[in-house]
């Protein structure tokens, strides 16, 4: 599917940018382009996406990134933070009126799932809050909508107020209120007919009901599969009725659910619950964090980032870089570097993770052979502590011993030693060049240089 | 001839097309401007064909839910085409754009008129309706039953949604409304069994058309999709070459997920056409372009409201026009 391609590409860009020691504007541009596509594929409204990307860009080229030692990760973090803040926090409370009954009105487009959700909500109110709800059948338009609610009432063994289809919904609701008071039912859930937000007459009907009974909650019920139009629908319903919250339905499907983000963005009303199936107990508290990951299709990516943030100790990384600069970098440090990277998983990030390595042009686009890395590790591990600290003491005999211990050839040991020396030299040069100012940019740093595992 | 010219001529010469186009105008663009005025506006709006223009076009199409990759491909192609033909005049670009858009819908296929339903002459035609929850399957059946009946056909309905509360009553109500019989079992019974009974009843009563309702289901529920395949097999077994149409009902409000719906429902039931509903709202249903593009499934009918008469045959050109009508109507 189209989306998998996008998710992959997004993941690749993230991988690429993640370990970078320096993030260019081009990097940010590339990254935000993929994020943009992923969001659009997920049905987030294009205007919402536009604002979002703008904010990410602004922050990504700002100081917090530039001054960080791991700017790549910083950028990812920004994406995640912005996405989560756009999604809002957990808010699953339902109003309780101090003068019962508490009135809840369900509104939304046709086919969004209002009636089923009314049943689910009633079930939740009874089960979790020990309430006694009355269901009100105020959809007089759709054929058998009343039958549907009555059937649900039977399944739940709960009272349903209905008065046929020859009476106005406004009147039905008034009568239902009287009945609820009379029978000491503490919640009134009004199932209204689905309608288009641009249908003036039917919207007026809702406004009239609202004015009559002053609901404590007006829930806008929205299908999670809704596309770009979600903003128009949500904005319009909210403008006309000032809804108090949103319920997202059919989230048990395989939609990315970007509509959630759009709705939150244009209404700033909390998404409180999510429908997760057709059964009456399948209404769940909505989790904005999870939704953010789902929308970007990067549940895995995000956890990878989190792992990277956990495992790479910024302070330690700084120390190592310091060592490299001062050329006191030893094989022990080198081993530790590789170990740190390995903890994170994919080895092709190794290069990027070594502080400063991405600053060397010649090192771009090189293939890293995993086996080679194990070999290098084996060779280093076969060295004594002294040898690791000071490779200059490694004579022919020692080389033979190391080769035997690691199961590699002497020439391989030789090559590693030579490359390590070159690497240190390189580091020193580079540091000098950097300290020498812009000149370094044109220097031949990194040219012809190879890391021991390439 | 350019797409716009073709379209314009079509509307000027053909009375019944005019009616269709009015419906579309009401349903799709919500404006009272005449068609030719709109075209003039579009041409006048953009003096230069530059990045801004393409960006606007991209946004308009994405806002209409045309699949993201479809839009990106289209914009790339357009840019190339404009370069290749060395076009700088906006007027000319317009025709390239409309050509390309119509191309997207038609793809390689030759046919340029709308595709009708596959109706059998002097024999029973069986049409199976499938789709996710709440898209408008039952309502469409009611509307189509009305339409076919008014064409003089004997129509029978089968209440294959035995799952959703009140679904059987809903179809029965439609049956009453349009005065056709409904074959039904009780809630919770086996859908394949009801459909089987529907076929037998249609045969014995010598009906012309049997419209089979099914319960809505999300395409990622494997066992429910298997159930649907079983329903289709029952029909196949009872009547050779049936079902003659498997219509996937899509809600125009749906975004990219519609593509996944089309894919999975096709795998389970070999969908032959799409009914695009709720085009009377503000959503454009552009995703059907991607569906047509990637899966080759044509749209056959569109729903433009909740009344029995709110069902129309699909007019690709008017539809495509409606997609970027905003570019014309917005200031
Ligand atoms: N505005 C509008 N509403 C529609 C259209 N088609 C169906 N509906 C409504 O969408 C809702 C769900 O329709 P229904 O036929 O029950 O969907 P099903 O679950 O797929 O059978 C009902 O309220 C219908 O009246 C349409 O073309 N336009
Ligand atoms: Mg139905």
Q: Read off the CATH number of the domain in which A20 is found.
A: 1.20.120.140
Q: How confident is the model at residue A325 (pLDDT cuts 50, 70, 90)?
A: low
Q: Are residues A141 and A205 in the same domain?
A: yes
Q: Read off the CATH number of the domain in which A404 is found.
A: 1.10.260.30
Least Cα separation, residue A88 to chain B (angstroms): 23
pLDDT of B14: 37
- Range in A33-37, A50-54, B29-33, B275-279 the model is least confident about: B29-33
- Is residue A439 included in any domain, yes or no? no
- Is residue A93 included in any domain, yes or no? no
| Under 8 Å between Cβ of B239 and B212 | no
Phi and psi torsions of A242, nearest 5° = 50, 70
Q: Are residues A319 and A260 in the same domain?
A: no
Q: Are residues A118 and A233 in the same domain?
A: yes
Q: How many residues does chain B have?
A: 331
Whose tokens are 């319920």? That residue is A247
More confident site: A437 or B171 = B171
Upper half-sphere CA count for residue A46 (Cβ side, 13 Å)? 18
Q: Are residues A125 and A255 in the same domain?
A: yes
Q: Are residues A120 and A254 in the same domain?
A: yes
Domain range for A124 is 102-298
pLDDT of A264: 92
Confirm whether residue A299 is marked as ligand binding: no
Q: Are residues A197 and A126 in the same domain?
A: yes
CA B40 vs CA A291, B43, B61, B158: distances in Å: 44, 5, 20, 49
Q: Is B162 helix (H, G, I), strand (E, B) or coil?
A: coil
Beta bridge pairs of residue B248: B130, B274
Cα–ligand 1 centroid distance for B223 (angstroms): 25
Tokens of A161: 């107020």
Task: Give the start-end residues of each E strand in A237-310.
Answer: 245-249, 271-275, 283-285
| Under 8 Å between Cβ of A269 and A244 | yes
- Is residue A97 included in any domain, yes or no? no
Sequence-distant (6+) residues with CB within 8 A of B318 are B7, B20, B21, B24, B28
Give the C-alpha separation, A315 to A207, whole Å: 59
In this prediction, residues B230-249 reach a mean pLDDT of: 95
- Is residue A58 included in any domain, yes or no? yes
| Under 8 Å between Cβ of A262 and A148 | no
All domains of chain B in start order, with CATH? 3-113+321-329 (1.20.120.140), 125-315 (3.40.50.300)
Beta bridge pairs of residue A245: A219
pLDDT digits (tens, 9 = 90+) for A356-389: 344 343 444 444 556 777 888 889 989 988 898 8
A51 and chain B: CB distance < 8 Å anywhere? no
CB nearest to A111's CB, from B63, B135, B255:
B135
In this structure, the dihedral spanned by the alpha carbons of residues B282, B283, B284 and B287, taken in order and rounded to 10 degrees, is: 180
Read off the DSSP letter of residue A437.
Answer: G
- Is residue A245 included in any domain, yes or no? yes
What is the ipTM metric for this complex? 0.84
Which residue, judged by its Cα, is nearest atom 5 of ligand 1?
B278
- Is residue A451 included in any domain, yes or no? no
Q: Are residues A283 and A152 in the same domain?
A: yes
Q: Is the predicted pLDDT of residue B223 greater than 60, yes or no?
A: yes
Q: Read off the CATH number of the domain in which A281 is found.
A: 3.40.50.300
Q: Are residues A202 and A113 in the same domain?
A: yes
Choosing from A298, A314, A330, the residue where a domain stops is A298
pLDDT digits (tens, 9 = 90+) for A170-220: 999 999 999 999 999 999 999 999 999 999 999 999 999 999 999 999 999
Percent of chain A at pLDDT exceeding 70: 73
In this prediction, residues B119-138 reach a mean pLDDT of: 95
| Under 8 Å between Cβ of A305 and A298 | no
Cα–ligand 2 centroid distance for A444 (angstroms): 71
Q: How confident is the model at residue A340 (pLDDT cuts 50, 70, 90)?
A: low
Do the bridges between strand A283-285 and strand A271-275 make them parallel or antiparallel, or are there none, so unpaired?
A: antiparallel
Choosing from A278, A298, A318, the residue where a domain stops is A298
Q: Are residues A235 and A116 in the same domain?
A: yes
| Under 8 Å between Cβ of A344 and A444 | no
Whose tokens are 């670009």? That residue is B93
Number of domains observed in the structure of chain A: 3
Q: Are residues A118 and A155 in the same domain?
A: yes
Q: Is the predicted pLDDT of residue B239 greater than 80, yes or no?
A: yes
Q: Give kind and range of the element (H or E) at residue B246.
A: strand B245-251
Q: Are residues A191 and A270 in the same domain?
A: yes
- Is residue A165 included in any domain, yes or no? yes
Cα–ligand 2 centroid distance for B45 (angstroms): 44
Task: Give the start-end residues of each E strand in A143-270.
Answer: 160-161, 187-192, 217-223, 245-249
Atom of ligand 1 nearest to the CA of B164: 19
Q: Are residues A61 and A142 in the same domain?
A: no
Most informative mutation of B134, B136, B216, B301 for ligand 1 (most atoms within 8 A of CB): B136
Beta bridge pairs of residue A247: A221, A273
């Amino acid at each position: 599917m189209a989306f998998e391609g996008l998710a992959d590409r997004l993941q690749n860009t993230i991988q690429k940018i993640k370990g970078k020691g320096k993030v260019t504007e081009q990097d940010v541009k590339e990254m935000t382009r993929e994020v943009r596509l992923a969001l659009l594929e997920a049905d987030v409204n294009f205007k919402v996406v536009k604002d979002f990307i703008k904010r990410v860009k602004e922050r990504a080229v700002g100081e917090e990134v530039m001054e960080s030692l791991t700017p790549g990760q910083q950028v990812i973090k920004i994406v995640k933070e912005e996405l989560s803040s756009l999604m809002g926090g957990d808010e699953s409370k339902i109003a309780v009126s101090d003068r019962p009954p508490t009135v809840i009105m369900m509104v939304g487009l046709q086919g969004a799932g209002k009636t089923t959700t009314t049943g689910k909500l009633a079930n939740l109110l009874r089960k979790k809050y020990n309430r006694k709800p009355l269901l009100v059948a105020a959809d007089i338009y759709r054929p058998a909508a009343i039958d549907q609610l009555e059937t649900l009432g039977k399944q739940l063994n709960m009272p349903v107020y209905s008065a046929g289809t020859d009476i106005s919904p406004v009147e039905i609701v008034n009568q239902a209120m009287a009945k609820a008071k009379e029978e000491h039912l503490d919640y009134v859930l009004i199932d209204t007919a689905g309608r288009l937000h641009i249908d003036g007459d039917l919207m007026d009907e809702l406004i009239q009901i609202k004015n009559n009974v002053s609901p404590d909650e007006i829930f806008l019920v929205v299908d999670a599969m809704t596309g770009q139009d979600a903003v128009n629908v949500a904005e319009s319903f909210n403008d006309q009725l000032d809804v108090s919250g949103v319920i997202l339905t059919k989230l048990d499907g395989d939609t990315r659910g970007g509509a959630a983000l759009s709705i939150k963005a244009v209404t700033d009303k909390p998404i409180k619950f999510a429908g997760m199936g057709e059964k009456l107990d399948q209404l769940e508290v909505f989790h904005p964090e999870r939704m953010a990951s789902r929308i970007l299709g990067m549940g895995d990516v995000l956890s990878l980032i989190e792992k990277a943030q956990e495992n790479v100790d910024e302070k330690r990384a700084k120390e190592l870089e310091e060592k490299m600069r001062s050329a006191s970098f030893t094989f022990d440090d080198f081993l530790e570097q590789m170990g740190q990277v390995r903890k994170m998983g994919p080895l092709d990030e190794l290069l990027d993770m070594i502080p400063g390595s991405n600053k060397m042009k010649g090192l771009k686009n090189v293939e890293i052979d995993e086996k080679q890395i194990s070999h290098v590790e084996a060779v280093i591990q076969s060295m004594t502590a002294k040898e690791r600290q000071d490779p200059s003491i490694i004579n022919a005999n020692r080389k033979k011993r190391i080769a035997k211990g690691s199961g590699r050839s002497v020439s391989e040991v030789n090559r590693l030693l030579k490359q390590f020396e070159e690497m240190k030299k390189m580091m020193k040069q580079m540091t000098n060049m950097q300290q020498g100012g812009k000149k370094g940019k044109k220097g031949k740093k990194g040219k012809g240089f190879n890391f021991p595992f390439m | 001839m350019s797409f716009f010219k073709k379209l314009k001529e079509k509307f000027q010469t053909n009375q019944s097309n005019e009616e269709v186009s009015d419906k579309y105008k009401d349903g799709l663009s919500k404006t009272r401007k005449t068609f030719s005025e709109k075209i003039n506006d579009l041409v006048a709006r953009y003096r230069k064909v530059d990045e801004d223009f393409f960006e606007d076009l991209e946004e308009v199409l994405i806002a209409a839910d045309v699949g993201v990759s479809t839009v990106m491909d289209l914009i790339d192609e357009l840019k190339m085409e404009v370069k290749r033909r060395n076009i700088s005049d906006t007027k000319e670009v317009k025709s390239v754009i409309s050509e390309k858009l119509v191309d997207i819908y038609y793809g390689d296929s030759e046919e340029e008129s709308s595709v009708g339903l596959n109706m059998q002459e002097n024999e029973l035609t069986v049409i199976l309706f499938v789709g996710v929850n709440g898209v408008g399957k039952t309502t469409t059946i009611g509307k189509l039953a009305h339409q076919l009946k008014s064409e003089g056909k004997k129509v029978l309905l089968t209440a294959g949604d035995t799952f959703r509360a009140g679904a059987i009553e809903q179809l029965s109500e439609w049956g009453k409304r349009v005065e056709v019989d409904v074959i039904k079992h009780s809630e919770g019974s086996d859908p394949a069994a009801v459909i089987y009974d529907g076929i037998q009843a249609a045969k014995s009563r010598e009906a012309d058309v049997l419209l089979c309702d099914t319960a809505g289901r999300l395409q990622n529920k494997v066992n429910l999709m298997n159930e649907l395949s079983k329903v289709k097999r029952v029909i196949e077994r009872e009547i050779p070459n049936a079902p003659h149409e498997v219509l996937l009902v899509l809600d125009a409000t749906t975004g990219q997920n519609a593509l996944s719906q089309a894919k999975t429902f096709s795998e389970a039931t070999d969908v032959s056409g799409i009914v695009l509903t709720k085009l009377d709202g503000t959503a454009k249903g552009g995703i059907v372009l991607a569906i047509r593009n990637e899966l080759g499934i044509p749209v056959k009918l569109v729903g433009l409201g909740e009344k029995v008469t709110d069902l129309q045959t699909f007019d690709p050109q008017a539809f495509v026009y409606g997609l970027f009508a905003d570019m014309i109507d917005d200031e």
